[in-house]
Amino acid sequence: MKTTDNPILAPSTNPFGAPMFDKIKDSDYKPACETALAEARAQIKAIDENPEPPNFRNTVEALEYAGRDLNKFACIFYNLNEACTNPTMQQTAEDIAPEMSRYDMSVLLDPVLFGRIKDVYGRRDSLGLNLEQSKLLEETYKAFRRSGAELEAKDKQRLSQIEEELSVLGLKFGKNVLSATNAFEMNVTDKADLAGLPDFALAMAAEEAKSRKEDGWTFTLNMPSLSAFLKYGEVRPLREKIWRAYNTRCTSGEFDNTDNIRKTVDLSAEKARLLGYANYADYVLEDRMAKSCGKVDAFLDDLRGKSMPYGKRDVEQVRTFAAGHGFREEMMPWDFPYWAERLKEEKYSYNEEDLKPYFELSEVQDALFSLANRLYGLNFKRNDDIPVYHPDVRAFEVTDSGGRFMALLYIDFFPRDNKHGGAWMTAFREMDKFGGVEERPFVSLVTNFTKPAAGTPSLLTFGEFTTILHEFGHALHAMLAEGTYGTLTGTNVKRDFVECPSQLMENWAYEAEYLQSFAKHYRTGEVIPKEYVDKVVASRNYLAGYNSIRQVDFGTVDMAWYTLDKAPEISVPDFEHKVFDASRLLPEVPGTSMSSAFTHIFAGGYGAGYYSYKWAEVLEADIFGRFRDNGVFDRATAEDFRRKVLSKGGTVDPDILFRDFMGRDPQPDALLKSQGMC
């Protein structure tokens, strides 16, 4: 098949060159991959065989631009495989993974290519390169060295095999998690079993049952359904049932991820040893802000130590409250969300049911756009002429205050059985310049919010509102990108910095002026009462200690897996429980495991990097202090942040970006102070 015959690779006829989703068929993916791979190999060969002496243009920049069609394919295919997959796509992903990995390693282990790069790198100070060019050269040289370019031939061969296997294992892991999540349902036909559940949860469950042609109400492991039942369901055995189902996903049976975890850990450790590192975490962290396992461990230990007294206090307060309301059982993990929510209601005199009518999804979407306009001068215009990959998806043109086209934004709000859970931002195209022509990004924002049901629009919990603000922060980072090279623009920054701009955006969820600018009751139009806003702000740090320990645990178990020499003999749940002994706030439940479905670290690129959520949270808490001092809507501060941080991408190291914006190094206790724990 010729390149121009394939709708994935052909020049797009859509506005702005948007992907031709309406023309792509499952049968197009594999041929597109094969064509793009052949083209990419030819481009690499041309660099190798260039008779001219190596220089920045004919080697480093040529490599950056090689495989553009392959990258185009990958950005479309792999993102759709997460958001709108099917068995054929999943099988295609497994089929092409080894070949994609072989290509990547053939480039990174190419001795001729590395020789040319090394030659240019050795003369870097005399080449008159600008900032971006210097950074691209530095990152390219480092990537080759860290990928084994200096290894012996037999070690290169083994490293290539390892990468192939790891690429397939990640796909299998994610596929199992999606399948296990979809496999569970809890159908309720006795109305007495629904005691305590608010109207929004009942409507959601009734709609789910109807879609499955079942009677009554059906609850699933998708987060809106799961969270509602755990927070409000009064029937304890059913809370336990759905909690156990969620926390035993992929621990055994048809979708067991045990072997995938063991193989991933063993292969990652072997990869690190081949490259001269003590363990995989050491290998990863060398190229992060943190730099070393010791620094990450110290960071997590310090946070754990400072958070633990507050976490114990939080749990004891919930226990005491529950006991005062007649609860005589041991407080178990499936009890804690329920009683914590009851205490929150009593303490702050509101609950999610009170707030949800004020967070109608379309109004929230407009509020996101309004905030981006107020801070950065961005404008959003829906364009239904741009094809989308599913009827739920909407496409928007994004322009700046001068009318310059900045990005396309695709928004995909609702859960489906062919869509992974959670929320994320990604891109179908990253910002770069090729042949002197600027190509602006195509950004995708994906969530799993409750669909409209029975005449009621989609209403968000306050937690979901902060989630969409978070992901929109990632989207802004991508949409405001400037630069020449796609590998250095937008969110292509060090992993322990990438969460900083997104977490920063969550702060506006607690600003009264912002909330009252859009949060109106979907039926009456009443602006959210100031008393509710005050309660939201007052409750911001509710369970801050407990939640901090939970995040520290995620980072700690991640580090525990990736500092191993080999997979442990004990089971995945037993290994995990040993890790959590130092910070356990609630009783251990044998046989349960978060690791078995922890896609971030086993299928999502966060292996030995989950600590970055807390790391970046420290940075953003400090940064928001400047916004607060100057006024949270101060355009000059926002423009400074855009110019010095968001637009820079990975062209400058993040510690320098931070100092450029703040005028100093981070203050480590900024986060603890903001959460009332210091």
Where in the sequence numbering do the catalytic residues fall? 471
For the chain, the distance separating the N- and C-terminal CA atoms, rounded to the nearest angstrom, is: 63
Record the tokens describing residue 504, joined without a space.
């920063």
In whole angstroms, give the CA distance from residue 45 to residue 141: 18
Choose among 49, 90, 43, 39: nearest CA to 69. Answer: 39
Amino acid type, 597: A
Q: Which is it for strands 394-399 and 379-382: parallel, antiparallel or unpaired? A: antiparallel
CA 242 to chain centre: 25
Q: How many other CB atoms sit within 10 Å of the CB of residue 647? A: 17
**What three-state secondary structure class fits 509?**
helix
3-state DSSP of 268-334: HHHHHHHCCCCCHHHHHHCCCCCCCHHHHHHHHHHHHHHHHHHHHHHHHHHHHHHHHCCCCCCCCCC
CA angle 368, 614, 544 (to 5 degrees): 80
**What three-state secondary structure class fits 487?**
helix
How many CA atoms does the CB half-sphere of 317 hold within 13 Å? 19
In whole angstroms, give the CA distance from residue 144 to residue 133: 17
Choose among 26, 143, 68: nearest CA to 650. Answer: 143
Amino acid type, 333: P
CB 409 within 8 A of CB 422: no
In whole angstroms, give the CA distance from residue 195 to residue 174: 34
Buried b (16+ CB within 10 A) or exposed e, 595-618: bbbbbebbbbebbbbbbbbbbbbb
Phi first, then psi: give them for residue 211, nearest 5 degrees: -65, -25
- Concatenated DSSP letters of 159-218: HHHHHHHHHHHHHHHHHHHHHHHHH--EEE--GGGGTT--HHHHHHHHHHHHHTT-SSEE
Residue with tokens 């910095």: 497
CB 50 within 8 A of CB 387: no
DSSP 8-state secondary structure symbol assigned to residue 419: S
Record the tokens describing residue 370, joined without a space.
């309004």
Q: Which is it for strands 405-412 and 442-446: parallel, antiparallel or unpaired? A: parallel
In whole angstroms, give the CA distance from residue 594 to residue 319: 24
In whole angstroms, give the CA distance from residue 542 to residue 315: 11
**What three-state secondary structure class fits 442?**
strand
In whole angstroms, give the CA distance from residue 479 to residue 498: 14
305: exposed, middle or buried (Cβ count in 10 Å: 0-12, 13-18, 19+): exposed
Q: Which is it for strands 405-412 and 217-219: parallel, antiparallel or unpaired? A: unpaired
CA 499 to chain centre: 8
